[in-house]
Every structure is written in C-alpha cells, then in structure tokens.
Amino acid sequence: MPTAIVTGGAVRIARSLACYLAGRGYNIALHYNKSKQSADEVLAEVRSKGVRGEAYTCDFTDIKASEQLVARIVDDFQDVGLLVNSAANFILENIENTQTQTLMDTLHINLMTPFLLMREYRKRVNRGMIVNILDQRIMKNIPTFAAYSVSKVGLAHLTQMAAIEWGANIRVNGIAPGLILPPPWGTEEYLKREAPKIPVRNHGSLEDIVRGLGYLLDSPFVNGEILYIDGGESKAMSNTTY
C-alpha cells in the first residue's frame, strides 16, 4: 500500500483528507503538534479502514525538527508516495498590528516548513505527488490575517516552481479552499452570514475538498495547478475584509 504524509492531520481539512486517503488504501503518516487526543481519534478511524496509521508530533516552529520529519517517516514507511502540506496557523492581525512573534511563527509553520518538507521529500522519496493546501485569498490583497496571507502567497509560488523543477518525478499541485469551515473561533453562523457574499450564494463542505484531492490523485497529467474550490470567490472583484 502507498503511504501519505499529512501535516496538521488531526484537525479540520487535513483530518478529512487523512481519513479519505485511508479509505482509498493509503497508509497514513499523520503529523500533529499539540492535538494528541484528536490525532488518536483520527488514527483509530484510519486503522478501522484496514490500513496502517502512525502519528508523528513535531513543532513546525522548530526548524531542525521540521527538517527531520520526512526522514523519521521514511524510516518507518518504505512506500511513501504523497505529501499533503496542510498544517497552518491563522491569526487575525493586519500589517500594522502583526506582532513579530506572529510573523515568525506564521512564516515558519505556513511557508518555511512546507519548503523544507518538500525539499526532503524530493531527496528521500522522489516520486508521487505533493499537494499544498493554500487559500483563495492568495488572489486578493486583503490586509487582515496579513502574515497568513503572505505565507500562503509564498507557498503558492513555491508550488508552481517545484512543479517545474520536479515534474518528471513528482507532480506538485495546490488546493485553494474558500468558505468551507468557520475560523477556529467561529461557528456555523459564520458560514451562513458569509455565504451570500460568494458568487454561488452558498458555502462549500469538506466533501468538496476531498473530491478535489481525488481529482488530483486520478489525473496524472495535472501538474503545477492550483485548484480553487471556493464557489468563485477568488474571482470576485471586491477585497472582502474577513
């Protein structure tokens, strides 16, 4: 069976992707930072599908530890064929109010560590596919969540550069979700309030993201693409400020 590395796999979008991949027959190398209880729950679901699942804790603000994560996983799994970079922080601070620690942590978690994981994946695996989870806001200039937005724009650019450099062996693509989940501090009411602002006048679901990943897995000629799953929000002219 092939193995998928899923970062941030204990929570939110990555949790759904990990469980979906297990259902497709992938063994799961599940990265998490502090969400051990959630990671254990995901592993139980993964293993219930008849595949192997192992959890790996790593603080992505620790560069040395981040550099070593792929090697740790490859030591345990000999058939790694997919890396999903989903772990991210999402902090509401505009440019002027961005704290230095926020900037450093966000760039480490959202950009530098995916860069390192991709580099190590290339060196140690050199096959299959990398999928980076981005955000529809990379198409806009929205000053809220400033460090987050900058990090995701950088990751989108890295996605396309790596697709050019590595395409002969590794396909590299991105998924840019829109209004799928409320922010970590929000509720379903947030989705209902924001949905009328989306061109399709509705919000998406985790199943939409799962289908997007399935499309990328099943499409061997797709490389260097960013799949926007956002109801057309990224194409709208207004710079929404949420």
Q: How confident is the model at residue 241 (pLDDT cuts 50, 70, 90)?
A: very low
What does the alpha-carbon distance between residue 191 and residue 211 come to, in Å, rounded to a whole number?
Answer: 20
> Does some domain include residue 147?
yes
> Does some domain include residue 136?
yes
What is the pairing mode between strands 53-57 and 27-32?
parallel
Instruction: With beta carbons less than 8 A apart as the criterion, state whether 74 and 81 touch.
Output: no
Q: What is the DSSP letter of 57?
A: E
Other CB atoms within a 10 A radius of the CB of residue 139 amount to: 18
> What 3-state DSSP class applies to 238?
coil
Per residue in 77-123, pLDDT (tens digit) is 999 999 999 999 999 999 999 999 999 999 999 999 999 999 999 99
For the chain, the domain total comes to 1
> Does some domain include residue 134?
yes
What does the alpha-carbon distance between residue 123 and residue 137 come to, in Å, rounded to a whole number?
Answer: 31
Instruction: With beta carbons less than 8 A apart as the criterion, state whether 73 and 127 touch.
Output: no
Distance from first CA to last CA of the chain, Å, rounded? Answer: 41
Other CB atoms within a 10 A radius of the CB of residue 192 amount to: 12
> Does some domain include residue 195?
no
> Does some domain include residue 242?
no
The residue segments making up the domain with residue 90 are: 3-179+206-227
pLDDT the model gives residue 1: 81
Name the residue among 63, 90, 227 with its Cα closest to residue 150: 90
> Does some domain include residue 64?
yes
Compute the average pLDDT of residues 219-236: 96
> Does some domain include residue 200?
no
* 190's tokens: 């947030």
Alpha helices in the chain (DSSP H): 12-23, 36-48, 63-76, 100-107, 113-124, 146-166, 188-194, 206-217
Per residue in 147-201, pLDDT (tens digit) is 999 999 999 999 999 999 999 999 999 999 999 999 888 888 999 999 999 999 9
Compute the average pLDDT of residues 214-233: 97
pLDDT the model gives residue 112: 98
> Does some domain include residue 186?
no
Give burial (CB, 10 Å; 0-12/13-18/19+) of 68. Answer: middle
- DSSP assignment of 98-128: --HHHHHHHHIIIIIHHHHHHHHHHHHT-SE
pLDDT the model gives residue 242: 47
What's the angle, vertex CA 8, arms to CA 107 and CA 33, rounded to 5? 80
What's the angle, vertex CA 178, arms to CA 241 and CA 193, rounded to 5? 60
- Output the domain CATH number for residue 151: 3.40.50.720
> What 3-state DSSP class applies to 22?
helix
Q: How confident is the model at residue 237 (pLDDT cuts 50, 70, 90)?
A: low
Percent pLDDT > 90 in the chain is 93
Instruction: With beta carbons less than 8 A apart as the criterion, state whether 227 and 212 touch.
Output: yes
